[in-house]
């Protein structure tokens, strides 16, 4: 028994979703036992509103912003949609990168559908870094619009130098949005220091419940509201609908726990990730790690096993939960757009697994996973060699 909740399984898919933190679970449980719509004026309503205020403060403390700059949403997909719709309606072009999550890429394509020339995708290096020099080039000929770049990639963990991107964007009169879903609660994020105008996050990536998230909107940003949901005018008109009180409170509790553990937790997780990488690559020559190794999230590794299809490898180790490409794309037969943009061949992209670790990962899980990967890769290689027969 070494996995979350005592399971005989290594859960290494934190970038898809992290196990809920004990603090968040307790908060959600308590909130669900209380009645109260946060917009009601009676006592139960006011109590719910007070709890939401506390959560707003906890989340603001994690981002170093003020509570009034937070808009609660159902997650990062909604936050990205809200941010890009509002920012793009304030001006064009919309500059982003081909390694973004579909929640940004598809939104970007949708909002620029009538003027596709307004969508600019920056080049990406083989190390997964977005070429920020090209951003200067884009703005040498035009001004205004919005730049949207992810803070950390969900497949490789590669980090974007947002300060540099924000400087170029602002000098060119553009706004900057970041999809910070994978970094919030895992590495320190200070919105003032990063100088971003809009930031999306999601509770379930840092130990909060699924279905809760937020958009940070810098105070004073001259942004038109482009709500996806209209109705009762909640969240200052940005997002109508009864607040998800339990989800928001759980997110606040998770934010608070993540903030307290930040430095210590990330060092421990990085050491476990490094151990997994060295055990796997040491035992299986030919494997390689994708993305700039010294500029990554602590808990992610994307490993290519040349000649070993990722779906077969995962099927051969059912007691290890990891992902081919990103979870949102799983089930689809297309290879990872992130790895292809980094120059991997389709075959190598199809032979890549993302392992992602987090707050509850144990060293026993890592040792077990490394052994399982070695065994499974050897087994799949042998099965393929037999199927292909002697050459
Ligand atoms: N952006 C990134 C980078 C992600 O990894 C994810 C989750 N896979 C999302 C956005 C979507 O988040 P949510 O599940 O909260 O909609």
pLDDT above 60 (res 342): yes
Q: Which CATH architecture has domain 10-20+262-387?
A: Alpha-Beta Complex (3.90)
**Catalytic entry in 25, 240, 279, 328:** 328
Q: What's the CA-to-centroid distance between 103 and ligand 1, angstroms?
A: 7
Enumerate the domain spans of the chain. 10-20+262-387, 22-260
What's the whole-number mean pLDDT along residues 44-60? 97
Residue found by looking up tokens 């990085």 in the block? 270
Confidence of residue 388 (pLDDT cuts 50, 70, 90): confident
68-80 tens-digit pLDDT: 999 999 999 999 9
CATH hierarchy code of domain 22-260: 3.40.640.10
**What does the pLDDT read at residue 263?**
87
User: Ligand 1 pocket test: which of 72, 73, 77 has the largest number of ligand atoms within 8 Å of its C-beta?
Assistant: 77
User: What does DSSP say about strands 175-179 and 146-148: parallel, antiparallel, or unpaired?
Assistant: parallel
85-108 pLDDT tens trace: 999 998 899 999 999 999 999 999
pLDDT digits (tens, 9 = 90+) for 218-236: 999 878 889 999 999 999 9
Q: What is the pLDDT of residues 242-281, one digit of tens each?
A: 999 999 999 999 999 999 999 899 999 999 999 999 999 9
Q: Residue 328 catalytic?
A: yes
Which residues contact ligand 1 via a Cβ below 6 A?
A: 75-77, 101, 103, 150, 154, 179, 181-182, 202, 213, 327-328
Ligand 1 centroid from CA 277, angstroms: 25
The closest-lying atom of ligand 1 relative to the alpha carbon of residue 75 is 15
**Angle value at C-alpha 325, between 324 and 327, nearest 5 degrees:** 85
Ligand 1 atom, smallest distance to 326 CA: 8
Give CA 301 to chain center in angstroms.
14
Q: What value does the mean pLDDT take over residues 110-127?
A: 97
What's the pLDDT band for 333 if we cut at 50, 70, 90? low
Residue 330's pLDDT band, with cuts at 50, 70 and 90, is: low
Distance 79 CA to ligand 1 centre (A): 10
pTM: 0.96
Probe ligand 1: pick from 14, 15, 18, 75, max atoms within 8 Å of CB?
75
> How high does pLDDT run on average in the chain?
95
Q: Are strands 300-304 and 352-356 parallel, antiparallel or unpaired?
A: antiparallel
Q: pLDDT-based confidence at 325, cuts 50/70/90?
A: low
User: SS3 of 132, please?
Assistant: coil
Q: How far is the CA of 379 from the centre of ligand 1 (A)?
A: 33
Instruction: Please state, in angstroms and rounded to a whole number, the distance separating the CA atoms of residues 119 and 249.
Output: 37
Matching CATH topology for 10-20+262-387 and 22-260? no
d(CA 317, CA 194): 40
């Amino acid at each position: 028994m070494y996995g979350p909740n005592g399971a005989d399984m290594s859960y290494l898919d934190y970038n898809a979703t992290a196990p809920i933190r004990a603090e968040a679970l307790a908060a959600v449980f308590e909130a669900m036992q209380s009645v109260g719509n946060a917009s009601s004026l009676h006592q139960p309503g006011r109590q719910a509103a007070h709890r939401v205020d506390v959560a707003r403060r906890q989340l603001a403390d994690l981002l170093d912003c003020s509570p009034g700059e937070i808009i609660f949403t159902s997650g990062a997909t909604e936050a990205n949609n809200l941010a890009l719709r509002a920012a793009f309606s304030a001006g064009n072009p919309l500059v982003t990168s081909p390694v973004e999550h579909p929640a940004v890429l598809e939104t970007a394509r949708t909002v620029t559908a009538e003027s596709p020339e307004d969508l600019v995708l920056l080049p990406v290096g083989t190390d997964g870094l977005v070429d920020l020099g090209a951003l200067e080039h884009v703005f040498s000929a035009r001004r205004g619009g919005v730049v949207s770049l992810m803070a950390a990639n969900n497949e490789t963990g590669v980090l974007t130098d947002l300060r540099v991107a924000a400087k170029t964007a602002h000098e060119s009169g553009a706004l900057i949005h970041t999809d910070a879903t994978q970094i919030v609660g895992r590495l320190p994020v200070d919105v003032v220091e990063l100088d971003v105008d809009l930031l999306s996050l999601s509770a379930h990536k840092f130990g909060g419940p699924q279905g809760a998230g937020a958009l940070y909107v810098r105070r004073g940003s001259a942004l038109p509201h482009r709500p996806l949901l209209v109705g009762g005018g909640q969240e200052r008109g940005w997002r109508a609908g009864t607040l998800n009180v339990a989800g928001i409170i759980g997110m606040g509790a998770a934010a608070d726990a993540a903030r307290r553990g930040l430095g210590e937790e990330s060092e421990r997780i990085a050491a476990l990730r490094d151990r997994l990488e060295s055990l796997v690559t040491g035992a299986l020559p030919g494997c390689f790690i994708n993305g700039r190794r010294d500029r990554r999230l602590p808990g992610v590794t994307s490993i290519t096993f040349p000649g070993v299809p990722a779906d077969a490898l995962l099927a051969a180790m059912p007691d290890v939960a990891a992902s081919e490409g990103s979870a949102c794309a799983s089930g689809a037969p297309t290879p990872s757009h992130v790895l292809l943009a980094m120059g991997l061949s389709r075959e190598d992209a199809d032979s890549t697994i993302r392992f992602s670790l987090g707050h509850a990962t144990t060293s026993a899980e890592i040792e077990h996973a490394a052994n399982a990967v070695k065994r499974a890769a050897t087994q799949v290689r042998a099965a393929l060699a037999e199927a292909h027969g002697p050459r």
